[in-house]
């Protein structure tokens, strides 16, 4: 009951913020933060892409498959819908193993790193809070998304941030945004000059200026149209990430944020978990197609791609043959620019009802931030019981703020000062 009230309160607060015209969509506020403008120049020509896979992916089916005994635990503690033979282990000699839903990522393991065991929080506060937490690295309801920081410095009137969702900007400097819905209308080069995207923006003046900027870039639009049409799936709808790929390849964008939401194949049903294997595979296949597009257009080495979901799913089966939210563990995939390819950082541990838990959980292991080694100090159990945890020096959980501090530091150290002061650099994630 407490959990439901907390989530309801959070949703109520976010509704009040929207009603009071908080600057949620990029480009709508005039308050700025100029912390790292001088450090990013044309010499640092790179792209940033953030996929937010909403609904709560099950990392056991993808980025962190179970490799222990498949028969040791009851389904209420460990509910697996695949066999041991379906796990691809240490692909191409790397540290990366993939569950049955994520086999499509195998061609990219040499340009891929995985962070496992990320601690999202001790309580289930619901999807909106978790999405905000993973997007900003902070628990604050109004913290700017990290995409906003990158968008404000890597974009200009001729290069947009491309997105299919709102990007919470807060105090971050304004940047130009165009929606994938608008760009889809411009896929036919013969028609794009008569297409209108004005209804897709809250501010018609901003929309008009951005639309006119597009019209001035006919060469880019020709290339955009060509790439978009080459990437189309026969007979299928143009995906938002396909539009984003064409935008990056044509030079219309350097920053992208895409939400992967498919309500027809909902990941958060809490029932019929057997369907998750196929549903998650659809998401990973879309991401793999995007990565192939980056490779085909010689963009992989200049593009950093981060893929995250708002939380992991519980390992045990519930009363509806499904799984529930698991906040004490998560897994993130990173691809491309300066990534230490084939690397896996962090781990998790299975805690069962036999260890005095009401339901079994995955719990992220602690990490030694000097050595990068997993430190199994059992602290998550104490945290869940609200006990004080005394940790060895340099040992802590991996949290979203640490991931974003590490990503930001790989681009510009100045960005890190906008995150929580206790943020740590995850060792070994990026090449030196």
Identify whether the C-beta of residue 29 lies closer than 8 Å to the C-beta of residue 167.
no
Q: What is the pLDDT, as a whole number, of residue 188?
A: 55
What beta strand segments (E) does 155-206 contain? 160-163, 177-179
Does residue 47 lie in a domain region?
A: yes
What does the DSSP assignment read for 217-273?
Answer: -HHHHHHHHHHHHHHPPTTSPPPHHHHHHHHHHHTSEEEEEEEE--GGG-S--SS-G
Identify whether the C-beta of residue 130 lies closer than 8 Å to the C-beta of residue 15.
no
Does residue 428 lie in a domain region?
A: no
| Exposure on the CB side of residue 263, measured as CA atoms within 13 A | 0
Structure-block tokens of residue 399: 């949290």
| Exposure on the CB side of residue 146, measured as CA atoms within 13 A | 32
Q: What is the pLDDT, as a whole number, of residue 358?
A: 86
- In the 8-state DSSP scheme, what is residue 41? -
Q: Note the pLDDT tens digit of each residue in 270-294.
A: 988 889 999 999 999 999 999 999 9
- In the 8-state DSSP scheme, what is residue 409? H
Q: Note the pLDDT tens digit of each residue in 163-212.
A: 999 899 998 988 888 889 888 876 554 554 433 333 344 455 556 666 67
Does residue 213 lie in a domain region?
A: yes
Identify whether the C-beta of residue 27 lies closer than 8 Å to the C-beta of residue 177.
yes
On whether the pTM is more than 0.85, the answer is yes
Contacts of 41 (CB under 8 A, 6+ apart): none
Does residue 384 lie in a domain region?
A: no
178 lies in which domain range?
2-345
CATH number of the domain bearing residue 42: 3.40.720
95 vs 351, which has greater pLDDT?
Answer: 95
Q: What is the pLDDT, as a whole number, of residue 318?
A: 93
Does residue 403 lie in a domain region?
A: no
Kindly state the average pLDDT of the residues 300-312.
Answer: 97
Does residue 306 lie in a domain region?
A: yes
Total domains, the chain: 1
Cα-based distances in Å from 89 to 62, 103, 214, 330: 12, 11, 46, 19
Pairing of strands 253-260, 160-163: parallel
Give the span between the Cα atoms of 360 and 350, in whole angstroms: 7
Does residue 427 lie in a domain region?
A: no
In this structure, the number of other CB atoms found within 10 A of the CB of residue 16 comes to 10
Give the span between the Cα atoms of 282 and 236, in whole angstroms: 14
Q: Note the pLDDT tens digit of each residue in 236-256.
A: 788 999 999 999 999 999 999
């Amino acid at each position: 009951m407490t959990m439901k009230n907390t989530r309801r309160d959070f949703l109520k607060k976010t509704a009040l913020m929207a009603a009071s015209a908080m600057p949620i969509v990029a480009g709508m506020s005039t308050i700025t933060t100029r912390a790292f403008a001088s450090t990013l120049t044309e010499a640092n020509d790179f792209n940033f892409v953030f996929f937010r896979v909403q609904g709560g992916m099950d990392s056991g089916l993808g980025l962190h498959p179970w490799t222990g005994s498949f028969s040791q635990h009851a389904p209420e503690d460990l509910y697996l819908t695949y066999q041991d033979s379906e796990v691809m282990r240490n692909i191409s000699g790397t540290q990366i193993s993939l569950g049955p839903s994520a086999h499509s990522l195998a061609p990219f393991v040499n340009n891929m790193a995985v962070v496992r065991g990320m601690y999202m929080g001790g309580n289930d506060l619901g999807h909106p809070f978790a999405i905000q937490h993973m997007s900003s690295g902070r628990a604050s309801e109004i913290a700017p998304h990290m995409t906003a920081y990158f968008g404000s410095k890597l974009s200009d009137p001729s290069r947009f941030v491309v997105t299919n969702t709102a990007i919470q900007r807060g105090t971050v400097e304004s940047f130009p945004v165009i929606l994938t819905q608008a760009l889809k209308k411009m896929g036919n080069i013969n028609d794009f000059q008569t297409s209108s995207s004005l209804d897709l923006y809250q501010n018609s003046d901003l929309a008009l200026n951005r639309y006119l900027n597009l019209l001035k870039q006919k060469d880019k639009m020709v290339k955009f149209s060509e790439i978009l049409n080459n990437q189309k799936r026969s007979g299928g709808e143009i995906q938002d990430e396909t539009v984003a790929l064409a935008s990056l390849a044509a030079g219309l964008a350097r920053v992208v944020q895409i939400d992967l939401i498919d309500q027809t194949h909902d990941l958060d049903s809490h029932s019929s978990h057997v369907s998750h294997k196929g549903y998650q595979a659809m998401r990973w296949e879309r991401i793999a197609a995007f990565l192939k597009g980056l490779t085909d257009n010689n963009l992989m080495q200049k593009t950093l791609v981060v893929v995250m979901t708002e939380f992991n799913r519980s390992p045990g089966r519930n009363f509806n043959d499904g799984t529930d939210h698991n906040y004490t563990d998560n897994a993130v995939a990173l691809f491309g620019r300066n990534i230490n390819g084939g690397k896996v950082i962090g781990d998790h541990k299975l805690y069962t009802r036999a260890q005095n838990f009401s339901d079994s959980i995955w719990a992220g292991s602690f990490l030694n931030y000097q050595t990068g080694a997993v430190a199994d100090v059992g602290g998550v159990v104490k945290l869940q019981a609200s006990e004080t945890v005394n940790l060895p020096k340099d040992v802590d959980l991996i949290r979203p703020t640490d991931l974003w501090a590490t990503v930001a530091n790989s681009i510009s150290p100045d960005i890190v000062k906008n995150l929580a002061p206790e943020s740590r650099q995850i060792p070994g994630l990026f090449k030196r």
